[in-house]
């Protein structure tokens, strides 16, 4: 089933990195310009009518974000994952809220946590869970969680820590 | 929609004016088996490496001393204290924990009116969930770091058994970077290294591919990195926190990698020798072994004029005249020594103090003296026949090999001893037998059983690869001689080497004997020192220990304030200890001369 689907998709779209680990699951990478067409085609013609999730990965070293659309075909009990790479400097993607209304919520979350824009997506620029956030988006890998936490939440009085190296020197060879 | 669904939210409003009801224990429901609840820490397993503190993104963990837990090799004595005002139960601390001591129970209820109790040391402060089996444990299928060391390539036994070619090939850049990447920089190893080298710091420099910084870190505590990168006894690796889930970091090979990367011509530029201000004070160093060379280097760095007196024709001591070339090639030794000499350290060779020049003379001509003359007198088993001309001391033959002298190599040889010197002579003679006879017939026999043989494990393994036969747990009985020729060695079963107090006190079973055929016997059971050059003249003023060693303080200073000692003669056992002694003595001499 999946094999035939791959052949059909390859005729119509530029897809790469096709991974089929299980018989009921298929992952592929789509060109950015074609991704929404591909998702639309899967929904309208191939029965992948359910949007399971939309999420992102920050490939900091490679300078790009990866979006993953996970779709489900309930009739044949199969999943299809579509990966799209975005330039990390100008992260923006076409919205799919016209296909699934709830996609707007995912896109709003991605805007807040990764800073990926989805122009035209309803309420995409409103805060999702971070009210009054002023820092860089916190799911970006260059966001220093520890530094933020040290700056934002001052330590309770009475805390003290010892460096193992220094402490061992003091205990075991103080004169040297 | 039913009417009830519309009205039910408003029903809650009936409690609006009721007094509040404090609930002491709101739920009697157990959490899921893998719930990330309150922490547990096995105090015995934890080594206080602080990696949990390091990874905590909420800065919720402090490392603190805990009563009843002492600091010792491989354990800082510190334990994590967690601030539940900050913890977000992400469990990164559990996942990264090097020993696996830190876990989480599935308990999630803890009620108290004092907010300060929520900052606690799991495992040290008894909690109801301490013994709870359910809760979050790091899953088996992944690790946050690579637990296996990058293997070191070696010349295979067939290719090395006839020559003295260096066996260990050294890491490539890609290999070194991957090995360095495994280090969690806890620093537990530093205390165990006799020289307290900045190990995490130089491994970090390897990871960042900054060889100049790496070399500077090495030279802060060790001026013989090519040597130690090859033959160090690497005690650091025995306490490495990576060993609990896999292999310890190859600290020694990473050190060698650094030294190998930087050509000798660049040392001066990187280490900045020209900044040293010359002082008028002069220090004599006796012995150009690791102790003497280390002292000379750090004294030269402090601006002293140093002259090293060496009995042999070339510097290096045991590093040149003891350790075989297949473990430490002479050119690498010369690279380290060459840099020390380039700092203006003078070396006077073929000069034995006590014979060619007296210690009093050195005392007269120099402001201070550092003696590190080592152990160069082989000890004899003194069994019957040990005075036969075909019975040799390992240390004498190793020296003759270095000096290129003709070596007596019989067809069948027995080596007595189980330490690294015994391995060195066995593997050297195996090579020479191979060259001369095309085969190896060499038995190495030791008092110790194999599990307590003092030699490094890799020496035992590699000896066998080179066809040395190892016969542990035998004590030498007598050397059988017929018609003036050695026939072999009679041995008796050794049951134990040390008594209950850990003292050397071997026990034998006289009824179980064996005989090893041989035409030549080598004794490698240890060496003694010859320090008559100092004890004879200064006997009455030189304070000795009950074990008849010269008494010294932590800087190696003897009861004669101008005389400092170090290395094997003050109880060291390896090059790195001697190097550390030399460094401390340099600091001690500097203190003494600047009083």
- Which tens digit of pLDDT belongs to each residue from B50-62? 999 999 999 999 9
pLDDT value of residue B14: 80
| Distance (Å, whole) CA B319 – CA B567 | 13
* Cβ pair A168:B186 closer than 8 A: no
What does the mean pLDDT of chain A come to? 95
User: CA of B48: which chain A residue's CA is closest?
Assistant: A164
Decide if B312 contacts B350 (C-beta within 8 A): yes
Give pLDDT tens digits for B532-546: 998 888 878 889 998
- Residue in B70, B72, B76 closest to A164 by CB: B76
The DSSP output letter for B274 is G
d(CA A159, nearest CA chain B) in Å: 7
Q: What is the CATH number of domain B157-269?
A: 1.10.1060.10
Query: Residue A126: what are its φ and ψ, rounded to 5°?
Result: -80, 150
Locate B471 and state its tokens: 């016969």
Confidence of residue B40 (pLDDT cuts 50, 70, 90): very high
Q: What is the 3-state secondary structure (H, E, C) of chain A?
A: CHHHHHHHHHHHCCEEEEECCCCCEEEEEECHHHHHHHHHHHHHHCCCCEEEEEEEEEECCCCEEEEEEEEEECCCCEEEEEEEEEECCCCECCCCCCCCCCHHHHHHHHHHHHCCECCCCCCCCCCCCCCCCCCCCCCCCCCCHHHHHHHHCCCCCCCCCCCHHHHHHHHHCCCC
Edge to edge, what strands does the sheet with B474-482 contain? B474-482, B485-498, B504-517
Other beta carbons within 10 angstroms of residue B416's beta carbon come to 28
Residue pair B276/B301 in contact (Cβ under 8 Å)? The answer is yes
pLDDT band at B274 (very low <50, low <70, confident <90, very high): low
What is the total residue count of chain B? 595
CATH class of B377-526: alpha beta
Fold classified for B28-144: Alpha-Beta Plaits (3.30.70)
Provide the pLDDT for residue B8: 78
Beta-carbon separation of A161 and B64 below 8 A: yes
In chain B, what is the straight-line distance between the N-terminal and C-terminal CA atoms, in Å? 95
Tokens 């066995």 map to which residue? B426
Q: What is the mean pLDDT of residues B114-143?
A: 94
Per-residue confidence at B28, pLDDT binned at 50, 70, 90? confident
The percent of residues above 70 in pLDDT, for chain B, comes to 98
Q: What is the least distance, in Å, from the CA of B30 to any CA of chain A?
A: 30
Query: How many residues can be counted in chain A?
Result: 176
Q: Please tell me which residue of chain B has the smallest CA distance to A157.
A: B116
Within 8 A by CB and 6+ apart from B534, the residues are B354, B359, B371, B542, B550, B563
- Neighbouring C-beta atoms of residue A26, cutoff 10 Å: 24
Which chain B residue has its CA at the smallest distance from A164's CA?
A: B76
DSSP classification of residue B72 = B
Residues of B in contact with A162 (CB under 8 A): 62-65, 78
Give the gap in angstroms from C-alpha B563 to the nearest C-alpha of chain A.
19
Instruction: Round to the nearest angstrom and report the end-to-end CA distance of chain A.
Output: 73
Residue pair B100/B244 in contact (Cβ under 8 Å)? The answer is yes
Tell which residue, A46, A41, A6, A47, has the closest CA to residue A23: A6
* Domain B157-269 identical in fold to domain B278-376+545-593: no
Q: Is B483 left (phi over 0), alpha (psi -120 to 50) or beta?
A: left
User: Does residue B22 surpass a pLDDT of 80?
Assistant: no
Q: Using the beta-carbon criterion (under 8 Å), do A146 and B76 form an inter-chain contact? A: no
Nearest to A24 by CA among A81, A93, A77: A77
CB contacts < 8 A, A to B, total 82
* Domain covering B278-376+545-593, topology: FAD/NAD(P)-binding domain (3.50.50)
Q: Where are the domains of chain B?
A: 28-144, 157-269, 278-376+545-593, 377-526
Residue of chain B minimizing CA distance to A143? B57
- B191 contacts in chain A (CB < 8 Å): 165, 168-169, 172-173
- Kindly list the residues from chain B whose CB atom is less than 8 angstroms away from the CB atom of residue A176: 196, 554, 584
**Alpha helices (H) along B62-116:** 92-96
Backbone phi, psi, residue B338, to 5°? -55, -40
- Kindly give, in sequence order, each residue whose CB lies less than 8 Å from that of residue B242, ignoring residues fewer than 6 positions away: B98, B145, B147, B182, B183, B184, B248, B249
Two structure tokens written together for B559: 């009861």
Q: What is the pLDDT of residue B549?
A: 87
* List of chain A residues whose C-beta atoms are within 8 Å of the C-beta of residue B56: 146
Contact residues for A81 (Cβ-Cβ < 8 A; gap 6+): A25, A26, A27, A28, A68, A69, A70, A71
Question: What are the tens digits of pLDDT across the range B323-348?
Answer: 999 999 999 999 999 999 999 999 99
Shortest Cα distance, chain A CAs vs residue B239, angstroms: 13
Query: Which among A150, A167, A173 has the least Cβ separation from residue B59?
Result: A150
Chain B residue with minimum CA distance to A160: B62
Distance set, CA B576 to CA B234, B283, B397 (Å) = 9, 22, 24
> Which residues are within 8 A (CB) of B516 and not within 5 positions of it... i.e. 6 or more apart?
B414, B443, B445, B471, B488, B489, B491
- A175 pLDDT above the threshold of 90: no
Best A165, A170, A173, A175 residue to mutate vs chain B (most B CBs within 10 Å): A165
Q: How far is B121 from chain A (nearest CA, A)?
A: 12
A163–B85 CB contact, under 8 Å: no
Q: In CATH, what number does A2-172 get?
A: 3.30.460.80
B505-515: pLDDT as tens digits:
999 999 999 99
Closest by alpha carbon to B454, among B230, B233, B248? B233
Domain assignments of chain A as residue spans, ordered by start: 2-172
Q: Give this prediction's pTM.
A: 0.86
Mutate which: B76, B189, B298, vs A, most A CBs within 10 A: B76
Chain B: which residues have CB within 8 Å of chain A? 48-50, 53, 56-59, 61-65, 70-72, 76-78, 83, 85-86, 116, 119, 186-188, 190-191, 196, 200, 554, 584
Give the mean pLDDT of chain B. 94
Phi–psi pair at A37, nearest 5 degrees: -60, -40
Q: Which residues in chain A have their CB less than 8 angstroms from residue B76's CB?
A: 164, 167-168
| A146: chain B residues, CB-CB within 8 Å | 56-59
């Amino acid at each position: 089933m999946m094999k035939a689907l791959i052949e059909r998709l390859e005729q119509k779209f530029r897809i790469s990195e096709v991974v089929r680990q299980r018989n009921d699951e298929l992952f592929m990478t789509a060109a950015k310009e074609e991704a929404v067409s591909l998702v639309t085609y899967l929904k309208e013609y191939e029965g992948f009518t359910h949007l399971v999730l939309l999420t992102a990965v920050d490939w900091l070293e490679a300078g790009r974000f990866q979006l993953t659309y996970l779709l489900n075909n309930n009739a044949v009990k199969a999943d299809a994952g579509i990966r799209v790479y975005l330039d990390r400097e100008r992260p923006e993607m076409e919205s799919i809220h016209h296909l699934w209304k709830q996609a707007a919520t995912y896109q709003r979350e991605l805007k807040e946590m990764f800073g990926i824009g989805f122009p035209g997506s309803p309420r995409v620029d409103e805060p999702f869970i971070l009210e009054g956030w002023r820092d860089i988006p916190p799911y970006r890998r260059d966001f220093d969680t520890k530094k933020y936490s040290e700056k934002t939440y001052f330590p309770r009085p009475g805390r003290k820590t010892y460096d193992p190296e220094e402490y061992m020197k003091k205990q075991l060879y103080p004169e040297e | 929609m039913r009417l009830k669904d519309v009205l039910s939210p408003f029903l809650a409003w009936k409690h609006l004016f009721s007094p509040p009801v404090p609930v002491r224990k709101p739920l009697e429901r157990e959490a899921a088996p893998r719930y990330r609840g309150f922490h547990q820490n096995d105090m015995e397993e934890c080594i206080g490496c602080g990696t949990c503190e390091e990874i905590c993104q909420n800065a919720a963990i402090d490392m603190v001393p805990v009563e009843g837990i002492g600091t010792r090799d491989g354990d800082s004595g510190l334990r994590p204290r967690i601030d539940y005002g900050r913890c977000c139960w992400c469990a990164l601390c559990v996942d990264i924990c090097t020993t696996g001591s830190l876990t989480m129970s599935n308990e999630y209820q803890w009620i108290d009116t004092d907010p300060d109790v929520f900052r606690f040391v799991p495992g040290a402060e008894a909690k109801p969930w301490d013994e709870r089996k359910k809760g979050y444990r790091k899953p088996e299928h992944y690790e946050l770091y690579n637990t296996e060391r990058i293997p070191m390539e070696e010349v295979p036994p067939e290719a090395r058994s006839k020559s003295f070619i260096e066996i260990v090939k050294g890491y490539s850049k890609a290999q070194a970077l991957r090995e360095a990447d495994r280090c969690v920089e806890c620093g537990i190893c530093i205390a165990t290294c006799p020289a307290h080298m900045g190990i995490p710091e130089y491994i970090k420099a390897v990871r960042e591919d900054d060889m100049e910084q790496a070399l500077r870190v090495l030279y802060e505590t060790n001026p013989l990195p090519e040597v130690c990168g090859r033959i160090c006894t690497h005690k650091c690796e025995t306490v490495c926190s990576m060993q609990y889930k896999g292999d310890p970091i190859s600290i020694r090979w990473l050190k060698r990698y650094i030294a190998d990367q930087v050509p000798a011509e660049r040392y001066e530029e990187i280490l900045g020798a020209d900044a040293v201000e010359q002082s008028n004070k002069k220090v004599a160093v006796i012995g150009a072994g690791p102790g003497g060379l280390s002292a000379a280097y750090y004294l030269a760095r402090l601006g002293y004029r140093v002259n090293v007196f060496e009995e042999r024709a070339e510097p290096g001591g045991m590093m040149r005249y003891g350790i075989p070339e297949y473990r430490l090639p002479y050119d690498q030794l010369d690279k380290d020594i060459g840099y020390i000499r380039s700092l203006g350290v003078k070396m006077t060779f073929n000069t034995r103090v006590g014979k060619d020049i007296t210690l009093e003379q050195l005392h007269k001509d120099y402001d201070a003296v550092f003696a590190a003359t080592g152990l160069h007198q082989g000890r004899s088993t003194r069994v019957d026949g040990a005075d036969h001309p075909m019975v040799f001391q390992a240390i004498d033959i190793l020296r003759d090999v270095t000096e290129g002298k003709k070596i007596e190599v019989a067809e069948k040889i027995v080596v007595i001893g189980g330490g690294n010197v015994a391995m060195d002579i066995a593997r050297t003679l195996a090579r020479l037998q191979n060259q001369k006879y095309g085969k190896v017939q060499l038995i190495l026999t030791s008092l110790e059983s194999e599990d307590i043989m003092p030699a490094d494990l890799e020496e035992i393994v590699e000896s066998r690869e080179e066809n040395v036969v190892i016969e542990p747990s035998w004590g030498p009985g007598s050397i059988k001689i017929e018609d003036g020729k050695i026939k072999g060695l009679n041995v008796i079963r050794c049951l134990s080497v040390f008594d209950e107090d850990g003292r050397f006190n071997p026990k034998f079973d006289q009824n179980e004997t064996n005989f090893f055929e041989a035409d030549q016997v080598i004794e490698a059971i240890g060496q003694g020192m010859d320090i008559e050059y100092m004890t004879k003249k200064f006997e009455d003023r030189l304070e000795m220990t009950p074990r008849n060693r010269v008494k010294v303080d932590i800087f190696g200073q003897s009861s004669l304030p101008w005389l400092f000692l170090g290395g094997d003669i003050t109880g060291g056992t390896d090059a790195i200890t001697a190097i550390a002694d030399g460094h401390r003595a340099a600091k001690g001499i500097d203190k003494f001369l600047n009083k």
